[in-house]
Structure formats: structure tokens, C-alpha cells
Amino acid sequence: MTTVARRTFLQGSLATAVVGFDPGQESWSSVPGGANLIPIPPLDGQLLMNPAVLAAAAEDFGRIIQRTPSAVLVPGSVRDIVKLVLFARAHGIKVAAARGLGESHSTAGQAQVAAGVVIDMSMLATIHEINAGDALVDAGVRWIDLLEETLPLGKSPPLLTDFIELSVGGTLAVGGIGGQAFRHGLLVDNVLELQVVTGNGALLTCSPTQNPVLWNAVRAGLGQFGIIVRARVRLASVKPRVRVYTATYTDLATLTADQEMLIDDGRFDYVEGFASADESGGWIYRLEAASYHDPGNPPADTIKLAGLQFDPGTSEATEQSFFDFANRIAPTVTLLKELGVWQLPHPWLNLFLPGPQAASFIQGVLDTITVDDTGQGPIVFYPFKRARLTAPFARVPATPNVFIFSILRNAIPGTPENVAALIDQNRQFYEDARAIGGKRYPIDSVPMSRGDWEEQFRPLFSQFSLAKLLFDPLNVLAPGQKIFT
């Protein structure tokens, strides 16, 4: 459901707007009166409880876990979020991490809450400022919305995720990664200031110099400490044209070695890699790299491809606008929606691997699975530099180069049995990765225990727990991750 359609739908739902909370029954009511009913504070938006809205909030992109909230806040202002968190804190109500209904790329219930309140941040989507070096935006703004405003000015965020219809706030809560990460770090490394509603109900601004403890906690903090409501995002000058190079490899280790060479010498602005099934049932590997340039002044292909060890005769170079390159996933998403694949369960696997072991680990996984295990979903891997990361809770291996390795599965068939088998496989791969120092990118579908979370944040789990005590001591926020259950 688009933001416009969703807004129209919710505006037609006034008859089921919440008016109060009955603590004895632990339930909301849309009918005034009642001896035990505690009125909710006046809101600029709406707190809704009709079944259709609740059903939408019970799903995420994974389509695996359904947790039905008791109400959905459609905020009309940041003040509404402050009021809701304070009310929830006073009455023992859980609040899910802010999200756009069903459009998050969380795949295992991370942004859901059973019997609590989900906040639909997509209604707070104003771009407040665009300056020479930054933009001030609401957390519900999508990266594509920001890019459409900044590109006419020759500006873009330095880094973009491959899929740019994600929200700013949701991405910053988990980290945000793309093929430019080797130059610029994660998206959380490219914000200058955040406005946050903490689990204590305080509206605070944080930056490296203002409330630095909160700043270091909330970036990639999985929504545990506060709800990001506004962000000052770094902007960089960007050239309007992109030359995209692809080349095929039959040997994975050769490709990953070339990828590491490319992020070291910096000849490209973007570097990624993919695996796809070949006709014999094995895998072939593809480099994708891009160079930004001015119109009429493309880079020299021979210089860009010099020294790369791809299979002879497989390299190609194409031209497109910067926007079309940034939005390159859109046609595929449209097709997947038309085919009904977008609506299937998505038991994704997203791992951060230590650079020296990445090629052998990825090859070992690929030797174990078939294309049927992916449901024709893409397999992505590429390196970035750990030194570029500044957010303490964005956990990656302790090696100079780190690879992200993602199996973006579609569960075909989408039966519970098949989904469970794929999640079990994810769990085993996660354990294998952890044994060599790997970490999760925690948007994926891997069941986690308290011990797993301690290992994920090691050696910083004590700091993570302390930040929870400081900013959300009653454990109101983000129960879907199940870190402090």
C-alpha cells in the first residue's frame, strides 16, 4: 500500500480511533466512558484499532512472523510520539520500533509487537531543509524522496542502499549498507545529528558533541534506546552520469580478490558482486562496479578494467543517469510484485564476514545450497573497510576488510515447512559464520537467544545493556528483536 493510499485509508478509519485505555483489561477502547477508562492524551494524529489497520501492522517484509498489535499510532507530529511513549511507559504497554506499515525490510518480526502499539512513521515525511552539505528530514522520508529533491542541486547522500524506498529512520536504526560503503561507511556514518524520542519519553537532539552517549547508542541500536524522528543527513556533490561495468568470473576467490583490490585503489565509486546459477547447476559470479562522471566525459574503459582477472570476453559497460542507477532495483521490484513473488515469505540471510575467510565461507555455503533454496532471489557479496565505521553498535568482524554476504531468499513454495527449513539453514550458516568471527546484519531471519545477542555485541554487550538502562529502563521499546525479553 503506498503512502498516499495508506493515508487515505487511515483517514477513513476515524470510527475506530482509540479514546482510552483500560488498565484492568489491558485493552484500548474506541468508546468514551467506563469507570476504569483512562483517556489518551490529545493527539495531532490518530491512534487506531480497527482490524484492517492492525492486520497490516502484524506483517513485515519477511511474511514469516505475524504479531498483531492492539493499536497503531498514525502520528500527526513528533509530539504524538512523545505522548504515546510516555503513556505506554506509565501503563506497561510495549511500543514497536517506528516503521512504515509492511514496507520495512525487517524479515523476522523485528518491527512488530504483540498486543502493544506500532508507530507508522510514514506519515511524518517532511524534508525540512536542504543545505550545501546536509539535509534535515523526518524519519519517515524515504531515500528516494530525498534523492529526488537533492539531485537537481547536484547533491546526494554519499551512500545509498540498493533499494532506496526504505525510510531514513528505519535504515539508521539498523545501519544501512550499499556498494559505496568502502568509501563512506554505513548510512549511520553519514548522519550529522539525530532527534530521538527515548524510552523515557524525552525528546532529545544528539550528535558527536551533544548527548554523545545517546548518539553512539541509537545509531544502529535496533530501536532499543529511542525512536529516531528526525535526521540531519550528510550530502555530497555527485556527478550526473554513471558508467556501470559488469564482468563474469568462474572462480569466486578471484572475484573477491579483485573486489578487495578495487576498494583499495579506489578507481570506482561503487563495488558489488553477485552469484547466480549456471546451466550445469553450479554458480557463476559477477562483478558490478560503477564510476560517476560528467556528461560527455566518460572514464576510459581500459583504465577502469586494467588488472582485473575476469573471464575473457565477459565485460560490458553501460551508461545511465545517476538517479536511474540509484533506483536500478525498481523495475525488478515491480516485476516481482506483478508475479506475486514480493508477497511471498522472505527468510533472508545477511552476514558480515571477516575478509580473509570470506571467499572460502561463501563458496562453502554455495556448495551446500541450490538455486531452489533461494527461490531465484539474489545472492550478494562485496567488501568494505571497517575503519570507515563509527557507530559502536554496528557490529562487524575485527578485520580491516569486511564482506557482507546476503542470500535474499524467496520461499518457494511459501509453506510453513519450507520456510522453517530455510530458517534452520540460516541458523546453521550463522553459527558457522560466528565461528570464524562473523556477525549478523540484524534485518534477517535467524532465531536469536539472549546468549546469541551477547555474542553479537561482544565485547560491547555490557555497554548495550547500560544504554538500555539509561534510555529505556522499563523496556518499552522494540520488543520484536527479543534482546531484553
What is the pLDDT, as a whole number, of residue 27?
87
Per-chain mean pLDDT for the chain: 93
Task: Give the count of alpha carbons within 13 A of 6, CB side only.
Answer: 20
236/462 Cα distance (integer angstroms):
36
What band does 69 get if pLDDT is binned at 50, 70 and 90?
A: very high
Tens digits of per-residue pLDDT, 172-229? 999 999 999 999 999 999 999 999 999 999 999 999 999 999 999 999 999 999 999 9
Amino acid at 255: L
Q: What integer is the mean pLDDT of 412-424?
A: 96
d(CA 209, CA 475): 26
Whether 117 and 95 have beta carbons less than 8 Å apart is answered as yes
Minimal CA–CA distance to 476: which of 73, 86, 45?
A: 86
Tell me the pLDDT tens digit for each residue of 467-479. Answer: 999 999 999 999 9
pLDDT in tens, 265-321: 999 999 999 999 998 889 999 999 999 999 999 999 999 999 999 999 999 999 999
pLDDT digits (tens, 9 = 90+) for 328-382: 999 999 999 999 999 999 999 999 999 999 999 999 999 999 999 999 999 999 9
The pLDDT value recorded for residue 110 is 87
SS3 227: strand
Domain annotation for the chain: domains and CATH numbers: 13-120 (3.30.43.10), 127-238 (3.30.465.10), 241-450 (3.40.462.10)
- Predicted confidence at residue 104, as pLDDT, reads 53
56-60, 254-258, 350-354, 388-392: range with lowest mean pLDDT: 56-60
* pLDDT of 12 over the 60 cut: no
Q: 3-class SS at 288? A: strand
What integer is the mean pLDDT of 236-263? 98
3-state helix, strand, coil in the chain (%, to 5): 35, 25, 40
For residues 436-465, average pLDDT: 96
Residue 442 in contact with residue 174, Cβ under 8 Å? yes
